[in-house]
């Protein structure tokens, strides 16, 4: 048997829609894989009642098939489904790393990214790699059609997850079909600033680079309290605030000493609009780990 812990992730980071991703120190999924004649899946943990155990409908079933690695797969969910924290990706990433090890397939971490992304297609309808890439490789990742670039970073973060459900499918439906050149130029500038900030491990540059005027404003409408939570985080020291992935989680970049006050302010802001939430004080961290 092989056991793998794969972290939650934050995709997009505002300016890097469908491209940027970051591994979060917590929460994480833990997946156990054991050789079997055919693939079976059991799911426990946070939100497990919403996750299908049918291999045809679960992200990890597609991963087992792609690796030709039938197994009994036990998923212990630490990442809530439909959170914007890469829940399905964490399971797919853990399964890809675990089955690669169990069956001695010898694939590199980078080669496992498109395989885990097949699992994402089962859930969201499209094979995005912007969550599976950081969950497998760790750090900050840039996922392109022709491969992934990863860089180590340890930017302090607060993620705040409200008790609201936003499905990735719904959040993709509000993405605008196009953008004005002025907006594109601004977002490219922000994305480049963010990438440089990650390479320098500089929370100020990363925060400044999170701004996005194309996708984020449309999606913010789906998250009750988004503007007041964002303002509260900035008022308590956040260097940048945006939607995590497709939402509803909101992510703030910051300096280490500000995490606690930002977390409290974000929770209070959700509370003031009648929304329960939980906050994770974390940082950009490692990718999937085999125990």
Please report, as ranges, the residues that interact with ligand HSE according to CB under 6 A: 11-12, 18, 124, 128, 130-131, 168, 171-172, 245-246
Task: Assess whether 168 carries a catalytic annotation.
Answer: yes
In which residue are the tokens 């860089």 written? 151
Tell me the closest approach of the beta carbon of residue 75 to ligand HSE, in angstroms.
18
Comparing CB distances to ligand HSE, the nearer of 47 and 70 is 47
> Residue 120 catalytic?
yes
Of 9, 59, 159, 168, which one is the catalytic site residue? Answer: 168
Decide whether 243 or 266 has the Cβ nearer to ligand HSE. Answer: 243
163/176 Cα distance (integer angstroms):
26
CA 190 vs. chain centroid, Å, equals 20
Evaluated on CA atoms 218, 221, 225, 227, the torsion sign reads: positive
Phi-psi region of 288 (alpha: psi -120 to 50; beta: other; left: phi over 0): beta
Q: Least distance from C-beta 198 to ligand HSE, angstroms?
A: 17
DSSP 8-state assignment for residue 257: G
CA distance 140 to 287: 10
Nearer Cβ to ligand HSE (39/168): 168
The CB-of-174 to ligand HSE minimum distance in angstroms stands at: 10
Among residues 24, 20, 28, which one has the least CA distance to residue 141? 20
Residues annotated in a binding site for ATP: 80-90
Q: How is residue 64 written in tokens?
A: 């087992």
- Nearer residue to ligand HSE within complex by CB, 39 or 59: 59
Rg (CA), the chain: 18
CA–CA dist 13, 45 (Å, integer): 27
Residue number closest to ligand HSE, CB atom: 11
- Please, which residue, 134 or 237, has the CB nearer to ligand HSE? 134
Minimum separation from the CB atom of position 72 to ligand HSE (A): 27
Closest CA relative to residue 14, chosen from 255, 238, 264, 201: 238
Feature table: binding site: 80-90
Are the C-beta atoms of residues 18 and 130 closer than 8 Å to each other?
yes
Which is nearer to ligand HSE, 76 or 212 (by Cβ)?
212
Q: How far is the CB of 140 from ligand HSE (least distance, A)?
A: 15
Query: Min. distance of Cβ 103 from ligand HSE in angstroms?
Result: 27
Task: Rounding to the nearest 10 degrees, give the CA dihedral for residues 149, 138, 7, 125.
Answer: 10
Q: Which of 118, 120, 159, 282 is catalytic?
A: 120
- Strand intervals (E) in the chain: 2-11, 20-35, 40-45, 71-77, 140-144, 147-151, 156-162, 240-243, 250-253, 277-283, 289-290
Residues noted as catalytic: 120, 168
């Amino acid at each position: 048997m092989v056991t793998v812990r794969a972290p939650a992730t934050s995709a997009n980071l505002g300016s890097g829609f469908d491209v940027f991703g970051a591994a979060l120190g917590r929460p994480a999924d833990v997946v156990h894989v054991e050789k079997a004649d055919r693939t079976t899946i059991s799911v426990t943990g946070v939100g497990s009642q919403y996750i299908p155990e049918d291999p045809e409908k679960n992200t990890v079933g597609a991963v087992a098939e792609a690796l030709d690695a039938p197994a009994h797969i036990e998923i212990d969910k630490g990442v809530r489904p439909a959170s914007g924290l890469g829940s399905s990706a964490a399971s797919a990433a853990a399964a890809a790393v675990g089955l690669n090890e169990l069956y001695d397939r010898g694939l590199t971490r980078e080669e496992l990214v498109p395989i885990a992304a097949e699992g994402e297609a089962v859930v969201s309808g499209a094979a995005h790699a912007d969550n599976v890439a950081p969950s497998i490789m760790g750090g900050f990742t840039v996922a392109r059609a022709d491969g992934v670039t990863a860089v180590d970073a340890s930017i302090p973060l607060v993620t705040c997850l409200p008790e609201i459900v936003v499905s990735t499918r719904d959040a993709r439906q509000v993405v605008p079909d196009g953008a004005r050149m002025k907006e594109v130029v601004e977002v490219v500038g922000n994305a480049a600033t963010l990438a440089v900030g990650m390479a320098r491990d500089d929370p100020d540059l990363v925060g400044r680079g999170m701004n996005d005027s194309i996708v984020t404003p449309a999606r913010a409408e789906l998250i009750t309290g988004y503007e007041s939570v964002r303002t509260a985080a900035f008022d308590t020291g956040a260097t940048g605030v945006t939607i995590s992935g497709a939402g509803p989680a909101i992510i703030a970049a910051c300096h280490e000493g500000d995490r606690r006050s930002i977390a409290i302010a974000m929770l209070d802001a959700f509370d003031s609009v009648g929304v329960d939430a939980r906050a994770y004080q974390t940082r950009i961290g490692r990718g999937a780990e085999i125990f």
